[in-house]
Structure 1
């Protein structure tokens, strides 16, 4: 039982029985740990090896704290290491001859555990893992491997089972299953079988339905697990057998794809200053505003346009100029008019003294009528972010013309000091992200001093905050003198960029306000061309700090911005419509959820037919037929990708089946689901 005996009687008896039945057999008295001594004589005598049964075993039973290093190692050497070495040598022969059967003798002690057998149980369960892997690697060469956990009488177990059961637990009641698994007609592989007393059953791993305890908003906590633990352990609700590592991985990937963006919102405290649900449910009244060319000129003058700087600036301040036009940042004016009329937002009772204008995003959907028009503006709240001590929220303004067509949108991102900690989410969904400038010299730089009276002129376009004009008010707010409007600095930068790129109208602007500017300071606008965007920063020359950071502008309007499918010169594919639909779905919300760039290499007849780049990392996102750098590259045929989008082909099965290849950040591809629905 301890493997220390040297009796050859049992082996000799078996050989005699086989020969008496007309077979051929030879006894081998070698230690199973000596691989060559065990298998060498077999290959010399028979020249082949069809079946290997790893059945040798010893016991070193001790309670856990009494197991010595020798007790542990002896069990591992005989049960697990010897089985590994013998199987490896046999596998080489079997693979070459395209046939083989390997049986590993496991034990219920390994499968379920048993007191006093920690060493034995570990080795026997190790054999189950070895069996599973050999089954995978051997299948294509007809080398099959299974594990048997017998309840049988042996020299090791004769003192364990009651004497009256010895006959029914003899090896005669176990051998038939083992022999069948070794037969050439049996195609079973990777199975684990319990057997004894003429009874056999196949075991499998079964999983509960499980529970998702995380969200994309933050890392999960121990408390999150505790809240879901009963559900994690519940086998009563749709348990499932898991038969491969691929199935196990797919279950995790499916769970990730279904992960919510944020925890389910709790109900608002009706007495709280910050009530996110109430604020987000609010939709403003319509604020109507009619402007004329004088309002256009006044705004443009307010952000520094002047006939004394360059003849081209006449187009911003002279209504009879052939190209008279408002600067793109004129879009802020109808939003200012709405702010003045709408007043406090329900559910957002904030201390106005603690408010800072953090970021601004403007999107133009069509050109302004420079001569004037009537606009109707509505507002709603986007993100409400709990930053711990502080609060950040966004307000979105839409301005439409008399035909109801969307002219422009504004997104104000407001920072409120000391009003966080209300139990809200920190998951950003709608706020358009700034883009940091690259670490290289700018492509263009424009420098301009701000006149001392510029704030007095700018405020006439709708931002009358006394902070920018009244010295006493400025001092109460902590400034020695009145500061320039952040949106005035913003307008200066837009004018500089539009002058640098005069041929294409700006259609989107984003900027983060980093530090105040004083009237009389010198602004330095730095510009970097980055694909179809221009990234920018505004520096204060006197203080040598950034006034605006993370800025970017986009050019052209929606007709030219987003791809509508394949070009006339390229062959139409099934997926052209799919990418056109993707383009319509892409927005700031999808960018905030995904934060990645994808390249799709669409194949046809084994060759690259088209390459698409889906940018869900920058600005409001974009879809274009191009070949650029990406975080994740997906290579798939036109027909297969169309089938995936239509729900006719499972994306994960296509991936695991080799129909779709993914390079780079594979897990990022799980976030594409919403664009394909």
Structure 2
């Protein structure tokens, strides 16, 4: 593996063209012709009116630290200027370096305080920021000393002193700030490395090791802090300072310290979402570096005595940079390695002949003719709420209808359909004759959901499953399964289609093209019409497991490692749930009646802690979407769409509600109320409140709601829900409502017997007699 960097531009970088420096001497080149290019337009503002900055060491009167301090202070940041005041070897101490910079900032109207502690006492430095400014938003770990010697002459003290300042100091200051940044859910940390750390340099083994260590520290902080909005990046600067004082002036004259801060200022601004990056900067030139590695070669029988000879024979392939890859994380690194190993194993298996048939085989005739037994799924409001939390819903006004069983519009989120049907397919490959396959080779490829009516919030449903297609894809097979879900009245609720890929199960001579798979959408060529970003919490996969998918891959790190992942991954259907939320919130007003159908194709897993990005395109009633994770442009979900019901279809749904309403005895009384209130608008003077009355069937399931508005100038009684707050919510069965209205049931007794449920302002329930009035005399 080797580092790659982008072709350099001033204040700009591109991933499309890369160069490959091999030592620190090849780093110092810039492109003066591009000096007028800037990522910061005249309209762009990187001011820090409410942020407080801390940075340390190498302040000096001409150093980088001084320039950082001046730049941030000039943009409104309050600055803690920390410098021990020693020489480049770390000896001595002086307050003048920090004091001079603080005074310079104050003379220009800025805010700054000095701190003279060593970075190894990071708590004291952070304490200065907290005591003076109440918070800390930015840390620049700029401390640095040199003790250059040839490797053979380095003493233990030379090694320890360098690492204590560069590595331990960066750790201590960042660690002290971390808890404050975590609490405020904001922070920016800058590590400072060197070309000697990235490429190595003669006479600097101790310094090189320390400077590469801070890159590793930054990479891990970026991973751990990403979900907390704490972003960490590393810069590799080249500019004149105390540490470069011995270099020729004609060389250093081209690398001014003033050229470094623009990158640091941008990386620390709240608008910058870069996290875990490594940048070279100097002379006005900025470039991003990344790791690169060859495709490599798998050595068969690597433990054999002849393995070294195999390495020798394959050396040209091992070091061939053509078609190189750029892993950006340990999971990508491991996944790419496993991919190459699997390719090699597939080739070996094909050469051996029958192993695929022995371990993974499908008898299409047996599988297709098998009648899968129906299954029952029983759920309650508790399951609805756990699922909603499992797909990332937060407790706020937008989501309360999915999270609170007492909400006037409590309902089931549409993608819960994938949970309802799961009992119909969960064990299909183990129980269905004709499948002799390794369960670790099964991959959930695509999902389609179609709703025929909004899902109930509780009840018992029946799942009828069938295998509709088995496709031969050569090395693998595709199995298409459909599950139709019906309610207790045998009415269709929804249909799910699962497209499953089984590795090493092909080659049986079946058809290759599908006539049954619901096709994914083509992503439009134009930019997205809407984008939603959301951090996936570290605990999200553990929470989603509570909806029934208990695969240890999503919670057990050791099990995840067997699958090639550094830590547990998010369920694909959980990612689908996030995307569904984003689309329904932005384009569906969170109205479950508007949801008609959806399709997704799973491409790669999401790791909890990553930022999920949903890109959306509106095509009449179809919302096309794809999902990515921040920092990687490869989709995790693609070809997705949600079909929304047209306004006419929503109107038909409302007509069905009217039919249901007219079938209830209570509707006669509500209609009579409406007429009386219209004839006597002054009734509002007795009430001045708004009721919601839920009518249930004999099984306790809500059938219809009525809104009784006695607050407005024109009182009204209407079936359906309301988007505004109500003062009192009442729930009874249809029969009990009639009994209350006709004085055959005492309201107080009904309440204590559980026949009348009241929430909100309970005192308003005492006005029921006035509410029914003449309507009770039927």
TM-score using structure 2 length? 0.36
